[in-house]
């Protein structure tokens, strides 16, 4: 396999990251629509679209800002986007809009499974992109190490994350079927995913890359801590109320 793995449609060659990112958004939105039809939404249709718009805008801004914060010395070379920044930015924007709209109810449960599945699908694009995506792991001698094109076998952390997210999606689905409080599903997603990133990103440091990349910095340092608190480890410290 040669990275990046371009997708060929006739004479058109498509970059895998672009394709799978688009498919991830589509899968997340379709999953959300299915869940909304199957369960009772605690807020009105109009208020839900306010929340969705805020989540989308906040995620777009947060994913870029935290990526730049993680690579402050290379502003001339944009570091891309970060999922953790998107989650935190989306959460902050939603809470701000809820305050403006005077909504006190938690609104995140319908987003938990769509986010989980969307991130998993998007990680396929990260894997197929190879070295330029900078989401691969450290050098390894393990038999499943992947050579992304420079002759060095590394942990395929993108594949590890896909496996984790599929397991998390199953657990969230099972959790949804059990009695729970409103907001618990989103809380479980945030705690599970942020905890996973704290663990898996320890495999993303390398002697060949002594400086921190946005993908590493956003998950190994301070931004995770308030996100975990606001996800529910200590609700009293989180203002306004967590999703």
pLDDT digits (tens, 9 = 90+) for 76-107: 555 568 899 999 999 999 999 999 999 999 99
pLDDT, residue 77, reads 54
pLDDT, residue 218, reads 40
Higher-pLDDT residue of 153, 233:
153
- pLDDT band at 72, cuts 50/70/90? low
Cβ atoms 197, 66 nearer than 8 A: no
pLDDT, residue 202, reads 86
pLDDT, residue 75, reads 47
How far is the C-alpha of 69 from the C-alpha of 146, rounded, in Å?
29
| All structural domains of the chain with their residue ranges | 7-237
- pLDDT band at 210, cuts 50/70/90? very low
pLDDT, residue 194, reads 95
How far is the C-alpha of 171 from the C-alpha of 131, rounded, in Å?
32
- Residues 37-63 have pLDDT tens digits of 998 899 999 999 999 999 999 999 999
- pLDDT band at 175, cuts 50/70/90? very high
- Residues 2-30 have pLDDT tens digits of 999 999 999 999 999 999 999 999 999 99
Q: Tell me what the pLDDT averaged over the chain comes to.
A: 84
CA dihedral 24, 30, 36, 39 (to 10 degrees): -90
pLDDT at 158 over 80: yes
* H or E segment to which residue 32 belongs: helix 16-38
Counting Cα atoms < 13 Å in the Cβ hemisphere of 41 gives: 18
pLDDT, residue 221, reads 40
What Cα–Cα distance (Å) separates residue 207 from each residue in 138, 151, 204, 210? Answer: 8, 16, 10, 5
73 bridge partner residues: none
What Cα–Cα distance (Å) separates residue 95 from each residue in 35, 36, 104, 108, 239? Answer: 22, 20, 9, 10, 9
The helix/strand/coil state of 153 is: strand
How far is the C-alpha of 177 from the C-alpha of 192, rounded, in Å?
18
């Amino acid at each position: 396999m040669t990275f990046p793995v371009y997708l060929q449609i006739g004479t058109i060659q498509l970059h895998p990251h672009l394709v799978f990112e688009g498919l991830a958004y589509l899968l997340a939105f379709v999953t959300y629509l299915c869940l909304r039809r199957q369960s009772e939404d605690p807020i009105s249709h109009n208020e839900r679209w306010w929340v969705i718009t805020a989540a989308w805008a906040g995620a777009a801004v947060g994913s870029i800002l935290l990526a730049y914060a993680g690579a402050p010395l290379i502003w001339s070379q944009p570091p891309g986007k970060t999922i953790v920044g998107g989650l935190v930015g989306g959460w902050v924007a939603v809470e701000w809009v809820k305050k403006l709209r005077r909504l006190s109810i938690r609104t995140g449960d319908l987003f938990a499974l769509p986010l989980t599945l969307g991130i998993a699908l998007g990680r396929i694009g990260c894997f197929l992109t190879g070295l330029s995506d900078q989401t691969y792991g450290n050098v390894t001698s393990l038999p499943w190490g992947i050579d992304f094109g420079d002759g060095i076998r590394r942990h395929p952390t993108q594949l590890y994350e896909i496996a984790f997210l599929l397991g998390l999606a199953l657990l969230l689905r099972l959790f949804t079927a059990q009695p729970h409080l409103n907001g618990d599903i989103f809380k479980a997603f945030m705690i599970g995913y942020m905890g996973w990133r704290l663990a898996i990103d320890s495999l993303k440091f390398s002697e060949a890359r002594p400086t921190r990349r946005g993908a590493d910095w956003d998950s190994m340092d301070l931004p995770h801590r308030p996100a975990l608190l606001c996800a529910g480890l200590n609700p009293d410290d989180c203002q306004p109320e967590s999703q």
